[in-house]
Structure 1
Amino acid sequence: MRIRYDRFPGGKMKAITLSYDDGREDDRMLVAKMNDYGLKGAFHLNSGFFGKPGYINAEEVSTLYAGQEVSSHTAAHPHLDLIPPDRVVTEIMEDRNALEALTGYPVRGMSYPYGSWNEQVVSALPGLGIEYARTTNSTHTFAMPSDFLQWHPTCHHKQMLEFGQKFLFDTPRHARMAIFYVWGHSYEFDRDRNWNILEQFGELVGRHSDIWYATNSEIVAYMSALRQLRCSVSGHILHNPSAMSVWIEVEETAIEIRPGEIKNLNAC
């Protein structure tokens, strides 16, 4: 029996997520356009900048980003690899605490300010409640990350149309889960006068029935649940101990395993 752990929710094999930093005023337009096209992502915010010229206000966080994800970008946006380890802790925990007070949910992810980090920073993150951290190192691929604490995106949004075409229409030799991850800063659209590429991107990739549109943390949570599946020696019995449904492929057919379910694949 051929079993593959290569399906997203609903049995889909493709996912798209976006990621934007700094919490600038242009997030207001960006979120509106993303919502129009059914796109989802994470907005990595510096709580220490709220209310400063060019930045959003703390009071609008819960409503502006409703349906999207609020994530950490540290309180004051330092180079984490250049500050004392105790300041790394303070920067992340103060930011998490401030953002959680505004959103009402645990903040479990972040992006690295200036895209800079080192092994010491990465090793500290699990103890600070961080489950994923996005870099600025584009892979130009759609592969799932091997380490969510060093999560490299597919591309910057300047290349979103080029890679959007590849994501939709290039057929890989061996199909597997594919994730298209775009990152950037909302102010860049205004600075470069190219909001049109976001609209074209939305028209191209938005609202496809075979694509999972997810926030960064939703992807991490789903993959964690998928990896927790318990398999019998025979390979025919699977137990899902998590609190969410997961999907797998059995003989090229998508199979759902519900929360807490023990499924005998011979009976499917």
Structure 2
Amino acid sequence: MPKILLCFPEGKHKVLTMSYDDGRAADRKLVEIFNRNGIKGTFHINSGLFGAGDRLTEEESVELYQGHEVSAHTLTHPTIARCPKEQLVYEIMEDRKNLERAFGYTVRGMSYPNGSFNNQIKEMLPHLGIEYARVVQTTKDFALPDDLLAWRPTCHHNQNLMNLAESFISLHKVQYLYLMYVWGHSYEFDNDNNWELIEQFCEAAGGRDDIWYATNIEIVDYLHAFRQLKFSAAQDFVYNPTANSVWLSVDQAIVEVKGGGQTWLT
């Protein structure tokens, strides 16, 4: 029987994702830095606040975030653990409706505004079409999430970012999968006068052949696709019912399991 292990696309073992909240004007500079270095981000937007203060307008957001993911952040950014459930439903569903109408794809993730959530909220999210939700508590490690509705990032960008980046880049043991997940608010770089931090990080971590650069939802979809694979009892072939390819290490050889078909493993 072969030894089968999940890999990231093209047989990679590391993935980097970035997560930034609120849709503020500083996202213009942040997106330019990401694009220059081949890094993908997920941007969590309050659609009810488009154009308020220094927040981007809907029209500019649609153009700016191309190639990245736009995700929910509730309509108006309330502290939702203090809200009645009826308001929670309204805040999430109206945000989804507005974002989906503007960006033209299904919004299936969010980050909790003000980091506010509880178990009741988590239990409601799948019924509101939300498949993942990012929290503000961090892990300081590179493990994959075990609870997508309380997805803990590796670090905020002000939490020892470059040392963590150095550790992440140096990881090489192929028996593991590694995820580095960085979160924050782009306006913090203006407030702290430290844009050089994210520029140095993206220059160091971007453009590397051994890292998969993905949005939050791309990671979620990839993990779901792996879990839906249908292996034969002898594990000599596998059927992939999804539309997405999944890469496996089969006795240390990299195999692409294409969507919608059957792949022989031995």
TM > 0.5 fold call? yes
Which structure 1 segments of 5+ residues have no match?
none
Equivalences, count: 265
RMSD after superposition: 1.2
1:40 and 1:213 in contact (8 A); partners too: yes
Indicate the residue corresponding to 1:29 in structure 2.
Answer: 29
Q: Secondary structure at the match of 2:146?
A: coil
Q: Secondary structure at the match of 2:190?
A: helix
4+ residue segments displaced more than 2 Å: 1-6
Q: Cα deviation per residue 1:182-217 (whole Å; 9 max; x = unaligned)?
A: 000000001000000111111111000111000111
AA of the residue aligned to 2:139: T
Q: Does 1:78 align with 2:71?
A: no
Indicate the residue corresponding to 1:52 in structure 2.
Answer: 52
Deviation of 1:170 (Å): 4.2
Deviation of 1:254 (Å): 1.4
Q: Secondary structure at the match of 2:121?
A: helix
Indicate the residue corresponding to 1:167 in structure 2.
Answer: 168
2:6 and 2:226 in contact (8 A); partners too: no
Q: Cα deviation per residue 1:101-141 (whole Å; 9 max; x = unaligned)?
A: 11111111100011111111001111111111000110011
Percent identity, aligned pairs only, is: 49
TM-score, normalised on structure 1? 0.96
Counterpart-to-counterpart distance in 2, 1:203 and 1:34: 9
Indicate the residue corresponding to 1:119 in structure 2.
Answer: 119
1:61 and 1:102 in contact (8 A); partners too: no
Structure-to-structure mapping, 1:1-268, within 5 angstroms:
1-158=1-158, 159-171=160-172, 175-266=175-266
Counterpart-to-counterpart distance in 2, 1:221 and 1:85: 28
Counterpart-to-counterpart distance in 2, 1:72 and 1:119: 19
Deviation of 1:150 (Å): 1.1
TM-score, normalised on structure 2? 0.97
Counterpart-to-counterpart distance in 2, 1:195 and 1:3: 45
AA of the residue aligned to 2:50: F
Q: Cα deviation per residue 1:214-259 (whole Å; 9 max; x = unaligned)?
A: 0111111111101101111112221111111101111112111111
AA of the residue aligned to 1:124: M
Q: Secondary structure at the match of 2:117?
A: coil
Q: Cα deviation per residue 1:125-174 (whole Å; 9 max; x = unaligned)?
A: 111111110001100111110121111000001132121101011455x7
AA of the residue aligned to 1:48: G
Counterpart-to-counterpart distance in 1, 2:92 and 2:106: 13
AA of the residue aligned to 1:166: S
Counterpart-to-counterpart distance in 2, 1:78 and 1:109: 17
1:132 and 1:149 in contact (8 A); partners too: yes
Instruction: Identify which range, 161-170 or 125-134, moves more after superposition.
Output: 161-170
Counterpart-to-counterpart distance in 1, 2:82 and 2:88: 9
